[in-house]
Structures are given as C-alpha cells and as structure tokens.
Amino acid sequence: MKSYLKLLSAACAACSMTATAFAADAKPAAPAAPAAAAVAATDSSPAGTWKWTQQGRNGGQGFEQTLKLAYQDGKLTGTMVGMQGPQGQIPDVAITDASFKDGTVTFSVTREFNGNKIVSKYEGKLDGDSIKGSSERPGRDGGAPQKRDWIAARAK
C-alpha cells in the first residue's frame, strides 16, 4: 500500500510540474527572425513532453514522472504517462480540468487505487522549458491534504 501511494504521489507531482509549465507568461516573437519566432512560440506554449522526479513519501526514493501536453485553440489537454510500480503497471491517465492562462498551467489527475478514486490537483508556472509548481492530493486515511512542489523540464 505504501509503494502504491508513493507512485500516486509521484504521478501527482508530475502533473503539477506540467501545470506550472503551461502557466508561464508568453514571450513575444521577434518579427524579423522566423527561427526566433518559432522558438518563442514553443517557449510560450505548454505543449510537449515534461519530465520530473517525484520525491517519495517521507523523503523516500523518488521516481520519474512524465506528462504529455497539447495546447491548441486555447485548450489544454494531456496525459500523465503510466509506469511500472511495485504492484504492477499503472496505466496512462488523461488529465482533466486543464487550463493555461496567464502563463499558469492547472489540471487534475484521477487515479483509482484499491477501489478508491484519488484526485491530485496540479498548478505551475511556465518559464521557457520548465514548469515550477505544486500539487495537492488527499491525505492518507482522511488525513490532511498532502502538498508537494515539482519542477518539470521539457523533454527535447
């Protein structure tokens, strides 16, 4: 059960980093340089694959999180990539309640463990090829919500 919760925490952290990346302020494109304009457009969009290492519970061993985001026509969509956990393969999960506004990325990830749905909420600020933010999920056995910081890097 502890390993499963560690995995869930890591997944939540990954989502939070993605949200932060989408939240960053857009950089204006340089009109005289098409290559620079393309880079600025990419840097101001949360679209892409984002990775970070989520620290384990109580400072335990961390694990890598991967988030794939798409941003088109003002709509943010994406998937938290599954991974192999101690209790088997954890499937990919679509993000929900996603938005990108004023450089801030927000979204939720709902996973089911032992018949219980656990919703993790992510928020982060996009800054070029990184997203820095925090995530929150319900505490174990009805305890206080657990908050974690995360910093994601855009995979090149």
Helix (H, G, I), strand (E, B) or coil at 156: coil
Q: What is the pLDDT of residues 77-136, one digit of tens each?
A: 999 998 766 666 788 999 999 999 999 999 999 988 888 899 999 999 999 999 999 999
Place of tokens 């400072």: 59
Domain total in the chain? 1
The C-alpha atoms of residue 99 and residue 156 are separated, in whole angstroms, by 23
Strand-strand pairing, 116-127 and 75-80? unpaired
Predicted local confidence at residue 116, as pLDDT: 86
What residues have CB less than 8 Å from 91, skipping those under 6 apart?
A: 82
Q: What is the pLDDT of residues 25-43, one digit of tens each?
A: 334 443 443 333 333 335 6
Parent domain of 34: 2-154
Helix (H, G, I), strand (E, B) or coil at 67: strand
pTM for the predicted model, two decimal places: 0.68
Q: Cα torsion for 69, 102, 11, 116, to the nearest 10°?
A: -110
